[in-house]
């Protein structure tokens, strides 16, 4: 770190799945490789580097992860993301048994095969115990990486964050940072909140938004569009239970709609997770199509196929979110940190065009953005 007064960013992660695995690996990787680390989103933000994130606790329900260190849990089944950095000797923080609530999809519980969750038989921590862990480990930032559809679980952990005095970074499509009631609760507690739902580094949303922007900028009229996504990780398995993905679809659709000059009718836009293909593991393939009209009404269409390793793609932005939360804490900011959220999340409190959002984020990190 540049500033010797700055300590590591003590962070607790809720949900030690594939995204967490990529974050855990990513922190150790950035420490080991420094400036030679590949593909780092924001190598430095306000004096903080990704390797300055210090993971101090994890919360999980899966028997294969509870009671292990984060370094061990990162590679425990059903995690299946790429192992891009396997020396995790520095990741010694423990994984605690959190409550189930709705943080486990019903079909996963029912499923006997190897990739399903295996619920830990250890007693789940109460709210007071989770708060105690956060305080004892000195956590200052909590990052939520629970399965899509975990409404009660997000509310539970958000309340724990408030009681323990942690900033919150919400990576999933349950609306808290972008929900005025929650934003107000964090403001009242004097704590910052960032979210909601990561916009992956080079993911389907940012690419779709860029294509829509390009068409708008060139005067092309967009008539209809879709974005179909398939993948083989537990996120996609969870989302094959369609009752869990209402807010995910809303978050993804709104992220694309908000990038267009003219909103499309609901029947002309279809965006969302589309199917679970087990053998893809953590690979995600997105098929994006835009149809529209050029000068004089001449027809055009664009088909684009994006193929990515899903979790490192989200982890890149997560490591920026944690550092921005710490910057907000350093400055005594509270409530929703709009200037830092628009670039990193699909459903921020305020949607901005991505280059403007990038400029605002950098201005914020450099100290000329939001004031306390």
What are the residues binding ligand LIP (CB under 6 A)? 19, 171, 197-200, 203-205, 235, 252, 284, 310, 314
CB of 317 to ligand LIP, least distance (A): 8
3-class DSSP assignment, residue 55? strand
> What sign has the CA pseudo-torsion 52, 207, 345, 57?
negative
Select the residue whose beta carbon is closest to ligand LIP and give its number.
203
Residue with tokens 């000068």: 295
Return the beta strands (E) in 145-280 as ranges: 167-170, 192-194, 221-231, 269-276
CB of 359 to ligand LIP, least distance (A): 20
CB of 278 to ligand LIP, least distance (A): 15
CB of 200 to ligand LIP, least distance (A): 3
CB of 8 to ligand LIP, least distance (A): 24
222/255 with CB nearer ligand LIP? 255
Q: Which two tokens stand for residue 221?
A: 């009229």
Is the Cβ–Cβ distance between 199 and 346 less than 8 Å?
yes
Q: CA 147: distance to chain centroid?
A: 11
149/171 with CB nearer ligand LIP? 171
CB of 204 to ligand LIP, least distance (A): 4
97/198 with CB nearer ligand LIP? 198
| CA distances to 9, 42, 320, 371 from 361, in Å | 19, 10, 10, 13
Is the Cβ–Cβ distance between 79 and 215 less than 8 Å?
no
274/334 with CB nearer ligand LIP? 274
Q: CA 3: distance to chain centroid?
A: 27
131/204 with CB nearer ligand LIP? 204
28/251 with CB nearer ligand LIP? 251
Closest CA to 171 of 154, 190, 189, 188: 154
Neighbouring CB atoms inside 10 A of 96's CB total 23
């Amino acid at each position: 770190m540049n500033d010797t007064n700055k300590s590591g960013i003590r962070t607790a992660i809720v949900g030690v799945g594939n995204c967490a695995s990529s974050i855990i690996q990513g922190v150790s990787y950035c420490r080991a490789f420094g400036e030679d680390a590949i593909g780092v989103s924001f190598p430095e933000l306000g004096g903080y580097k990704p390797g300055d994130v210090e993971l101090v606790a994890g919360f999980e329900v899966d028997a294969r992860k509870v009671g292990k260190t984060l370094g061990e849990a990162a590679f425990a089944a059903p995690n299946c993301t790429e192992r891009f950095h396997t020396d995790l000797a520095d990741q010694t923080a423990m994984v605690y048994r959190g409550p189930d609530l709705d943080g486990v999809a019903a079909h996963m519980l029912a499923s006997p095969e190897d990739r399903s969750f295996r619920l830990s038989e250890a007693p789940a921590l109460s709210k007071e115990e989770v708060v105690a862990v956060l305080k004892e480990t000195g956590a200052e930032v909590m990052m939520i990486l629970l399965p899509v559809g975990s409404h009660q679980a997000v509310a539970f952990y958000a309340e724990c964050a408030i009681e323990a005095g942690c900033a919150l970074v919400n990576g999933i499509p349950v609306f808290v940072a972008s929900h005025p009631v929650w934003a107000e609760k964090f403001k009242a507690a004097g704590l910052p909140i960032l979210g909601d739902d990561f916009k992956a580094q080079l993911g389907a949303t940012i690419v779709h938004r860029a294509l829509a922007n390009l068409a708008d900028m060139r005067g092309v009229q967009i008539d209809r569009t879709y974005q179909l996504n398939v993948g083989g990780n537990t996120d996609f398995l969870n989302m094959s239970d369609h009752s869990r993905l209402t807010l995910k679809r809303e978050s993804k659709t709104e992220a694309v709609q908000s990038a267009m000059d003219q909103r499309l009718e609901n029947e002309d836009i279809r965006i969302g997770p589309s199917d679970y293909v087990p053998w893809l593991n953590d690979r995600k393939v997105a098929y994006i199509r835009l149809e529209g009209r050029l000068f004089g009404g001449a027809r055009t269409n664009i088909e684009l196929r994006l193929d990515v390793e899903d979790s490192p793609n989200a982890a890149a932005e997560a490591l920026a979110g944690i550092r921005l939360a710490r910057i907000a804490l350093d400055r005594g900011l509270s409530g929703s940190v709009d200037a830092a959220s628009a670039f990193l999340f699909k459903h921020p409190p305020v949607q901005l065009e991505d280059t403007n959002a990038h400029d605002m984020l950098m201005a914020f990190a450099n100290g000329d953005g939001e004031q306390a």
